Amino acid sequence: MFGNPIGHSKSPMIHRSFAEQTQQDLSYEAILAPVDGFAEAWQQFVATGGKGANVTVPFKEVAFRLADHCTLRAMQAQAVNTLYIEEDGRLVGDNTDGAGLVADLIRLGASLEGAKVLILGAGGACRGVIGPLLTAGVAVVHVANRSVDKALLVAGDFNAQVSGSGFADIPKQPWTLVINATSAGLHGSRPDIDESHLSHCELAYDMLYGTEPTAFLMWAQQSGVKCIADGLGMLVSQAAESFQIWRGITPAVTPVLNKLQELMQQ
């Protein structure tokens, strides 16, 4: 896994657990690449026998440009979190974040067929999940962002099921699923949206995760939303999807998620 910083990364533990569970011989390390030196770090990795890797902040967009070929979901995300080399030597870029989110929503019992989804935030994470949510059968997706132009830009890259606005202009619709894809929670805050948008919400989901519920999740709960969840399950599920791409085996997510939750409570 390439990132900067990497100190907080849970990916080595997750992939080693998957390897143990599926009896795969796998070496998975976190590699700290210089902020302006991802391509060189990748070449060095390949020269020493590396075959595939995850990519995280701030390299997802550079990895997208570096890949010889990208999957549709990576093209929609304009970002790559999974790299692998094909037999013909081509470097392929994929993005498993959206599949990870959809798998986690299903694990949580969310009904996606026909759902009206409100996504807060218009960064890379938002871009990466829209395609997989539509494929999973959601009816509409509205992207609301602090910077309105970014929300409109993202919405414009998808079909008519996807719209965009600022936080103050979110259409009044019965949003059944509200997803926080902003990084506001990193600073203890939440996107500034009206509480009325939560009145039909069956699940409030924050892609961010930590030892305590995020400001957004606490607010959603206080506003009467029955089911809240953070992005730890998405993290483990996107890793499972990457593992499947590299190894052709789908590992079980729940035991690894439980172990991670236990470790985080210590």
In whole angstroms, give the CA distance from residue 203 to residue 228: 6
User: Is 234 an interacting residue with respect to ligand NDP (CB under 6 A)?
Assistant: yes
User: Is 184 an interacting residue with respect to ligand NDP (CB under 6 A)?
Assistant: yes
Kindly tell me which residue out of 76, 96, 182, 242 binds ligand NDP, with binding defined by CB under 6 A.
Answer: 182
User: Is 189 an interacting residue with respect to ligand NDP (CB under 6 A)?
Assistant: yes
CB-CB contact of 180 with 214 (8 Å): yes
User: Is 95 an interacting residue with respect to ligand NDP (CB under 6 A)?
Assistant: no
Catalytic choice (10, 60, 116, 150): 60
In whole angstroms, give the CA distance from residue 117 to residue 175: 6
Structure tokens at 85: 């080399």
In whole angstroms, give the CA distance from residue 79 to residue 245: 17
Q: How many residues does the chain have?
A: 266
In terms of CB distance, is 24 or 183 closer to ligand NDP?
183
User: Is 3 an interacting residue with respect to ligand NDP (CB under 6 A)?
Assistant: no
State in angstroms the smallest separation of the CB of 49 from ligand NDP. 27
In whole angstroms, give the CA distance from residue 231 to residue 237: 10
Residue of 93, 181, 176, 165 whose CA lies nearest to 137 = 176
Active site residue 60: yes
Kindly tell me which residue out of 1, 14, 74, 181 binds ligand NDP, with binding defined by CB under 6 A.
Answer: 181
| 3-class secondary-structure state, position 231 | coil
User: Is 191 an interacting residue with respect to ligand NDP (CB under 6 A)?
Assistant: yes
Kindly tell me which residue out of 77, 83, 92, 122 binds ligand NDP, with binding defined by CB under 6 A.
Answer: 122
Residue 90: φ, ψ to 5°: -75, 140
User: Is 145 an interacting residue with respect to ligand NDP (CB under 6 A)?
Assistant: yes
Residues engaged in binding ligand NDP (CB under 6 A): 97, 100, 121-126, 145-147, 150, 181-184, 186, 189, 191, 207-209, 231, 234-235, 238
